[in-house]
Amino acid sequence: MYESFYGNNPRNNKKRPIPTVKPVFRSKEQLKEFKDILSDPTTSQGSKKRFMVEKAGGYCSMCGDIATQIASYDMIDATLVEKYCDNCLSRGIN
């Protein structure tokens, strides 16, 4: 999304926003428990989706894994909030 708007716009006079990244605080045991619940084949997809939204904090915006970092972009008249896992965040989000 950012590449197409910011990179290909010939009338572009805006700089790309810099995100503010905050970690989601979870213990390693809790994260392992979440992954065990999501990998259980007897749990329905609807239950897994509700669990991810309510308990786990959401999905990674890039790969769909459990989000461990929250990035917020301050834009004009809006704030974009995206969630990332540690692996995707280490690859770079800009």
Per-residue model confidence (pLDDT) at position 91:
83
Q: What is the identity of the amino acid at 25?
A: F
Per-residue model confidence (pLDDT) at position 8:
59
Per-residue model confidence (pLDDT) at position 6:
54
Confidence of residue 14 (pLDDT cuts 50, 70, 90): low
Cβ-in-10-Å burial (0-12, 13-18, 19+) of 53 comes to exposed
- Distance between CA 15 and CA 69 in Å, rounded? 23
- Distance between CA 33 and CA 28 in Å, rounded? 9
Higher model confidence: residue 19 or residue 6? 19
- Whether residue 12 is predicted with pLDDT greater than 70 in this model: the reply is no
Cα–Cα–Cα angle for 67, 68, 69, nearest 5°? 100
Pair 41, 57: CB distance under 8 Å: no
pTM over 0.85: no
